[in-house]
Amino acid sequence: MNEKNLHYHTINHFVTCEGFHYERIRLSYELFGPPLSDRKNVVLVCHALTGNSTVAGERGWWNKLIGHGRLVSLNEYTVVGINIPGNGYDIEDNDGFDHFQHLTVRDIARLFVQTLKAIGISHLHVSIGGSLGGAISWEIALSFPDFVRVIVPIATDWKSSDWVLAFNKVQQQILRNSSQPVHDARMMAMMFYRTPESFSLRFNRSWNQELGMANIESWLLHHGKKLENRFGLDAYLLMNHYLSSHDLSRGRGSFDEAVRQLRARVVMIGIDSDLFFQPACNREAASVLQRAGLDAVYREISSIHGHDGFLIEYEQLNRLLEDVFTETEMTVSPHGQAVVNDLSQHE
């Protein structure tokens, strides 16, 4: 794993929000762009359920957004990616569900901020992430109100809804009962991360003569095998557990009461076809924040691809986030939708 350029930080005597004590937790992370000593603005990228710390570079899973000449320019920003404990990316971390099941998204946020502070980062310009990563960014903003200037939660919500909890329960049942647990759970998950329209556009009921099955069937089998090669059972169980633990209001009263702690600007990005974290929930959350007088906007990706749109619709994502990383101006339409007014050019 040395080619991943992983760095490590150990946190001793960590007590979770629920009071469970960990003698030692070691986190691994990667740095991209200027060294921290250059005092560039720092961007934290919180990875999604199947992601990892390699967010940029040739093998970076978000390298169409982050890099030299990209929206998140590695000339202007130091970018940090931290592996969620137990995600299986670091072979030196063999602990999985049984060890880390006492952690929640809120604990992950605390571990991330402790690590960032320990390596010399006193504040973040932006914390950004999709799905589970967006949930972590939300928690960083509420748990450490003065630590981050802007959060960008993408394709997520302030809580795991009943729909998401139900999904995760079915995932758990598959993972605990299937003869090919990770493989079969991933096949089922892809039905939620994409849409019927996305499947129709790509496959159009086409047939794979060699395999003797529909191309959509072979595609699902491929994704099952791909994730099976990436994830151990414990790691995949753990990532779903983290997602189920997400709730900003836990211990803070209602969501309306919880957000009074916010200091960061909130730029929420939803996807109009998302079957997982539904955009209506984002719009409702944005309304709550705006009524509270907070600096918050909701912007929407238009896509037929559903939840996975944040890993596909890069042109839209770049446009919707331009003002976060460049000198642009943002206004909000009467319907609560964000409209970008680029000061540098007009079409």
Q: Work out the burial of residue 310: count CB atoms within 10 Å of its CB; fewer than 13 is exposed, 13-18 middle, 19 or more buried.
A: buried
CA distance 276 to 122: 34
Contact 259, 294 (CB under 8 A): yes
Q: Which of the residues are catalytic?
A: 131, 274, 307
Q: Which residues of 287-304 are buried (b: 16+ CB within 10 A; e: fewer)?
A: ebbbeeebebbbbbbebb
Considering only CA atoms, which of 260, 330, 267 is closest in space to residue 298? 267
**Alpha-carbon distances, residue 58 vs 33, 68, 238, 317 (angstroms):** 14, 12, 28, 20
DSSP symbols for 178-223: -SSHHHHHHHHHHHHHS-HHHHHHHHTT-EETTTTEEHHHHHHHHH
At position 192, the amino acid (one-letter code) is F
CA dihedral 224, 94, 109, 16 (to 10 degrees): 120
The pair of three-digit structure tokens given for residue 149, joined into one six-digit string: 């200037």
